[in-house]
Structure 1
């Protein structure tokens, strides 16, 4: 007979993922141990292994959960097909930066953990990342179709430049500082919007 799922399964799973992200971000993927994760999450090692049978399975779950939640947030805010492309871009950038609030640990794991994963796991993560990137690229192409020129294909370089501004914000940004998350979202969007007007 199949084992029934505990009522607090998702809650425990979230605690484990959050705790593991903290440990991996602090210790690095190689030095961090499952014992440290169990201690941080205040669960037994057998329970931890019940949820995640290996370290790479745990790392994979952290990254995919982070990306799936980000993808859902982006899809939810990009719900008005009649909105002007520049306004859509502002919404999308704002949604990403808001989604990154409190997710620095998960973000560090995403950026630094690929060596610990299998090729199959990397492929699944890449598919999620590309889905998110394509949504931004589509909006940028609407704003400046010339970016997708066959002679000088700049759509992906410009798109990834925008992600560079968003993805590395955790290195310097402090909530409660002199610039708000919303302000920076506006700055990053304006830099891209004004910049691509001059791209030929």
Structure 2
């Protein structure tokens, strides 16, 4: 007979995922054991295995939970009625707001994804690819014809935008919503206008 799920199962699982992400982000995935995660969570090591059968499974669940929710949030963003330029501003803003409070999950992607089996990597990279495509399509719609018709150049600009957005947490730790909105405007202005003519929010 299957063991019934405890009433606090989901809350406990979310606590484990959040705590494990913080530990992995601080000491690295390779340098962290399941015993380290259990201690940080304040529970026994066998209890950890009740929720995730291995460290790699834990890493996958953390990243799958984070990236699938992020992809859903970006994909469901209502951009109707906006110009291409306004859509770009809305996208950069939504990414930075979605990243708020998720620095640990965001940070461990680089180390975590390559450690996983190919089929799990494919799932996670699929979320990332979908979000990159949304941004690329929006940038292409904003671009002059010579760039919009140059996929390589459009890709370079797209990945440069993600470079600015994805590393924001390093130089602005603990940034509040006001700072995130301001930086989203800066990124948008840089893409659309270069160094000339930054607009006020």
- TM exceeding 0.5: yes
Residue 176 of structure 1: CA displacement?
5.4
Identify the residue that residue 161 of structure 1 maps to in structure 2. Answer: 160
Identify the residue that residue 48 of structure 1 maps to in structure 2. Answer: 48
Distance 1:85 1:4, change over 3 A: farther
Tell me how far apart the structure 1 counterparts of residues 166 and 90 of structure 2 sit (CA, whole Å): 16
2:125 matches 1:91: no
Tell me how far apart the structure 2 counterparts of residues 31 and 176 of structure 1 sit (CA, whole Å): 28
Residue 39 of structure 1: CA displacement?
1.2
For the Cα contact (< 8 Å) 1:63–1:110, is it kept in 2?
yes
TM-score by length of 1: 0.88
Tell me how far apart the structure 1 counterparts of residues 89 and 175 of structure 2 sit (CA, whole Å): 21
For the Cα contact (< 8 Å) 1:97–1:185, is it kept in 2?
yes
Residue 6 of structure 1: CA displacement?
2.4
For the Cα contact (< 8 Å) 2:114–2:121, is it kept in 1?
no
Tell me how far apart the structure 2 counterparts of residues 158 and 122 of structure 1 sit (CA, whole Å): 25
2:179 matches 1:180: yes
Identify the residue that residue 118 of structure 2 maps to in structure 1. Answer: 119
Identify the residue that residue 108 of structure 2 maps to in structure 1. Answer: 109
Query: Helix, strand or coil: the match of 1:180?
Result: helix
Query: Helix, strand or coil: the match of 1:29?
Result: coil
Residue 184 of structure 1: CA displacement?
0.8
Tell me how far apart the structure 2 counterparts of residues 105 and 134 of structure 1 sit (CA, whole Å): 24
Tell me how far apart the structure 1 counterparts of residues 165 and 59 of structure 2 sit (CA, whole Å): 22
Distance 1:176 1:131, change over 3 A: closer
Alpha-carbon displacement from aligned partner over 1:118-166 (angstroms, at most 9, x marks no partner): 212211111110011111111111112543425x631211111100001
Tell me how far apart the structure 2 counterparts of residues 94 and 136 of structure 1 sit (CA, whole Å): 12
Query: Helix, strand or coil: the match of 1:53?
Result: coil
For the Cα contact (< 8 Å) 2:132–2:158, is it kept in 1?
yes
For the Cα contact (< 8 Å) 1:175–1:181, is it kept in 2?
no
Identify the residue that residue 131 of structure 2 maps to in structure 1. Answer: 132
For the Cα contact (< 8 Å) 2:35–2:45, is it kept in 1?
yes
For the Cα contact (< 8 Å) 1:29–1:116, is it kept in 2?
no
For the Cα contact (< 8 Å) 2:75–2:131, is it kept in 1?
no
